[in-house]
Structures are given as structure tokens and as C-alpha cells.
Copies of this chain bind each other. A is one copy, B any other.
């Protein structure tokens, strides 16, 4: 979890930023310019301009966002539930301090308000200053940004109602740890309307099987339907990554009304009707890893 600025390697005076996975795998990005580095109350926040992936945000040395491929993560966290829910009006984003998730939510004309609860204003400020591609949303009139601990905020706001909740968190280590608990999802489910959907950052099906099983267990205890769907990320270890999808009844395929996509005037970088459906196709190894926890 430590910050891994590499010192110049080899003969050249190139500098690289390295993200390590459990001491056995490293992903290295060649640095064009180091734009921001600050230790907040919660984590170390870095913004680095890289040669191959545009500007990148790292929290505690882990890649959160790259300008080159952020569209995939943000397309898939937002549009999958927003096209399954028949008429989402109020959306809650937990985390997502770079702004990309709220940006995609607010492209849906039927959404009347997006409330975003982010714990770390240093992330928001760093992105406002350096990553306008995602932080452009912070001027949106339908966005309500609240800097607060989401666990406390959700507990204090149990009277509020949302159609869709997106948990755009870091890994279950560091500041996001309490977000991966049964208590938190119990209180979240109180905020959801009858047709409500909650989608959460769901970790790597290769490297984080225990975390996936734990999250799915929690979701199954609080919701009538829960599963994972997959997407690709250039800068997350292994490339294949998951979101969890849980609901009070809506099914991500059976209740998916394709016409809402084809009739919308939105264009996407990754999302379309086929990738929506394909994302829920689970490879055999993943089915086996999640055995006993998957809804038939």
C-alpha cells in the first residue's frame, strides 16, 4: 500500500510509477509529469501525467482512474443500472471523488438529482485541478456534492429515497473498509425505493475471490437479487474486473428494456445493448469461485 515512486532505472533518466500487487506483480507507468501528491486524512493522493495512459489518479499507490480508459468503468457502473431501472430520478453515488460516475449518471435526462457522498475532499480537489475529463461534472446543476463519511451519512439520512445507488469505492482496505459490511448495506437498502438497484465496485475475479464471496454474501442477506457483472480495465491488475448488481427485484437482463437504450440519444465509449447483456455472462472459473452464492 506504500507509494512506489521508482527511482530512475537503467541507463536512462526515465521515471516510473509502480503499483504492486501483493509483492508478486507490478504495473509500471512511465511518468511525464508528477502533478499532485498529498497525504490527506484518509490516504495518499497522487495525480500523474503518464506517457501511455493520460493523467492518472492513484489513491495509496493504487490506480483509480486513467484518462485513457476511465470511460469503460464509468459507462458500466452507471448505464447498466440506469437502463434496467424503468425511471431513475434520484441517484446516490458513494465515493467516486473523481467525478466520472456522476458525470455518466447525469447524462440521463430523467435523473433529477445525483447526490454524491465522498469522504475525501483532497481527491475531489486534485481532480478538479488536474482531471477535468471526469471532474467537469462538479459544475452540474443537478449534482449535490457532500464531503462526509458515507457510513455516517447513510445512517443519518435514513428518510431519503433513491432509485439507484452506486458504490464507487476503493478496495476493502483503507478508508473504504466499512463500506464492505453487512451493516452498511442494511442501511443502504433502507434508502432504496421499491424498484431500487445498488451497484458496487466488485473487485477482481482473479485475484480477490474472498472479497467477491464476502460482498456477494452481504448483498444476498439484504437484497432479493444479487450477482456480479464484468468489464475491462486497462489499469487494474489482470484487466478483468467486476461490479456487483443487487436489487429489490429488478433483474439485470429480464427487466432490461433495450428500447430505452436505442431510443435514448446518448452515445457511449463502451456500453451498448450487447455489452450490457454480455457483461453478465460469467466465466466457468468465476461460477466455481462463487459456488453456492449465485442466484439461479
Q: Footprint of B on A, CB under 8 Å?
A: 16, 18, 21-30, 50-53, 68-69, 71-72, 206, 232-234, 236, 238-240, 267-272, 274-275, 277-285, 287
A134 to B: closest C-beta gap in Å? 17
Question: Shortest CB–CB separation between residue A70 and chain B, in angstroms?
Answer: 12
Residue of B nearest to A14 (CB): B23
A133 CB to nearest B CB, Å: 15
Bound-state Cα–Cα, A25 to B28, Å: 6
Residue of B nearest to A239 (CB): B239
Beta-carbon contact of A281 and B285 below 8 Å: no
State whether A26 touches B25 (Cβ < 8 A): no
Minimal beta-carbon separation of A100 from chain B (angstroms): 16
- Chain B residues with CB under 8 Å of A206's CB are 68-69, 234
Q: How far is the CA of A280 from the CA of B68 in the complex (A)?
A: 23
* Closest beta carbon of chain B to A270's beta carbon, Å: 4
- Selected A-B contacts with CB under 8 Å, 22 pairs: A18-B28, A23-B51, A24-B30, A24-B53, A25-B30, A26-B27, A26-B28, A26-B30, A27-B27, A69-B206, A71-B285, A206-B234, A232-B239, A232-B240, A234-B239, A234-B240, A238-B239, A239-B240, A274-B281, A275-B281, A277-B281, A278-B279
Complex: A33 Cα to B224 Cα, angstroms: 48
